Structures are given as C-alpha cells and as structure tokens.
Chain A
C-alpha cells in the first residue's frame, strides 16, 4: 500500500512497504486532466462535438515531432501548440537569415543569427505556456533519426529537401510512427499522410533523388500546407475524420484549386514493401 504520494510538476514520488522493506518510487506522470485555465483556453474547440473534454485530454497527452523550423515548421508549430498538443519537439540545425523572413513567420527581424529552434521555441512557448516545447538544434541524419523521434507518436515533415524526407520516411516506417508529409514550391504545395505498413509512403510515390538547393516560395503557400498538415495530425490523434492516406492533395495557389491524386502502396517499395498490409 502506498504510504505517501506527491506530485511535483510532471513527477510523482511515493513510497510503500513491500515484504517488510520500504520502497521509494519516482516516476514521470503526465497529468492529463485539464486545468480550469486549459478548459477556458481550449473552450471553443472543446465545443466541437468530436473533440470534447476527452479529446482535449488526448491532445494534452500527445507527443509530436516537427522536423524543420522553416516555412512549413513555422506554420505547423503554432497551430499544434495552440490546439494543446502536450509535447512538441522541434528539430532544426539552421540559423535565422534575413531571406527567411518572407515565410518563416516565427522568426522575426530581431532573431537573425539565432538558432531557428530557439527562435521558434520561444514564440511557441509564449503562445501556449501550458505545453512542453522541446528544441533540438541538430541535423537529421540516418544515424540520429531514430533517437530523435523515439517515444513520439507523430512525425511532421517540415523539411526543405527530399533526402532528409527519405530518412524520416524510412525511420517512421521502421518505428511504426505516422508521418505527415508536406512540401512547397512557389504557389504550389502538397500534403499526404502516411500510416506505416498500411498506406502508401513517400518512396511508393517518388522514384529517386529530388531537386536540391534554394526553392522559390511565397509565405502563404507553407501557411496553407502547414495548416493542412497540422489538421491531419490533430485528426489522427483524435481518431476522427478522413486522413489524406492513399491520396496526395495538391494545392495550386495561382489557380486557387486543390486536386487530389490516388497513391497506392508499391509492393516493391524499398522502404515499406516488405511490411504486411
């Protein structure tokens, strides 16, 4: 029987008698019950029938990685933070430059020269101090990808190159973590959600290396695409709605149209082909 139980922050400490020996236990305890402030903060989305208090508590328990703090990351992070995702990890090795400011709206003039994760992390924490925001200023490589996403239940693709996307795609498949793909160029963007072993992955769609370098882009495009990726993450975590699985949603801002294309799993895919459906 536990004789004493105390909670300090996210930590729970207790001691109990077992076989005549006092045992001290320390563990991490994510408090999932909403505080009065949180009930007020999220009141308008708790009103959504599919969310309610139970869904909001689910979001509070959620752990999401955002890979990249560029144009897409700066759109995805505030929406997930505002929605009350309990733990958000932002990964980016880069520093803020003047040429980022047309689209990476978490980075401001005063942030030039700072690490992007520091700049983005501080804004997101100020937006929602109720959540935990972790920042990692590292490049994502084949070597560290697995440890960077370990213990998380969603990986959001906010990368600016295809080679790192492939690393994340493979890592997500190996660790069975859903992967939320997004990409932009100019006024165009695309979104697809990948459930490892169940739905088409990036390698089921793309045959080889993609273009590298600096791409033209206007800020409204990652704003649109990042918002859709964040919507997908929230829907996945709450388990409602139709995910963008087995389909790529393409956005053409100049024509103001969305077009959907079906994408099926490739049985010979070198990333997910060996996984059973």
Chain B
C-alpha cells in the first residue's frame, strides 16, 4: 500500500528537498510514522508529542481536511496526504 505525502516548503529541509514522499500505512498516523522513520527531522516538525500534532500542522487527505482526530483516519492505496502549515499573518 503506497500513499503520497506532500511536504510543505518549510519542511522540505528535513526531506532532502523532496516535495512528495511515498509512505506506507493504513491510517494517517501510520503514514506519518513511516515518514518520520524515513526522515527523522520531520518528527519535531509535525509532532508536539506522542500521537499529538502541532497546532499549526494541518492534515488533508485527498484534498479534504482530516481535522479533527487526524491520526486514526484510514487511508487507502493511492491516497494523498498534504501537510500544510497554518497561517496567521494579515
């Protein structure tokens, strides 16, 4: 099972510049865990603690918000996850 994770520009320093990373998992959480195993620098970028996302990290699955309770959301082969950072400036 392969899922694509789109990495926000700010986080690409942790993924060797990769915009998209292929991961495996049956849930968003499993996919992000696999992402972190491949690119450990992503852990602090997206997680505030065990199974807890940073407030500013938004997760979209197939271009739809996964909020709330993002991590247990199921994903299927071919799905796409976007990791986006909240904006607050004006």
Contacts and interface: CB of A to CB of B under 8 A. Distances in A.
Interface of A: 68, 70-73, 157-162, 165, 182-185, 188-190, 204-212, 215, 217, 222, 248, 250, 252, 254, 259-264, 266, 268
19 contacts: A71-B90, A159-B90, A161-B88, A162-B88, A183-B86, A183-B90, A185-B88, A188-B87, A189-B87, A204-B67, A205-B65, A206-B55, A215-B87, A248-B65, A261-B60, A261-B64, A262-B64, A263-B64, A264-B65
Given A211-B56, A254-B9, A261-B60, A205 B67 contact: yes
A210 to B, nearest CB: 4
Contact of B90 (A160, A207, A208): A160
B55 A222 contact: no
Interface string B23-67: 000000000000000000000000000000101101010011101
Contacts of A263: 64-65
A261 B87 contact: no
Contacts of B63: 259-262
B89 A184 contact: yes
Contacts of A68: 90
B82 interface: yes
A207 B89 CA distance: 17
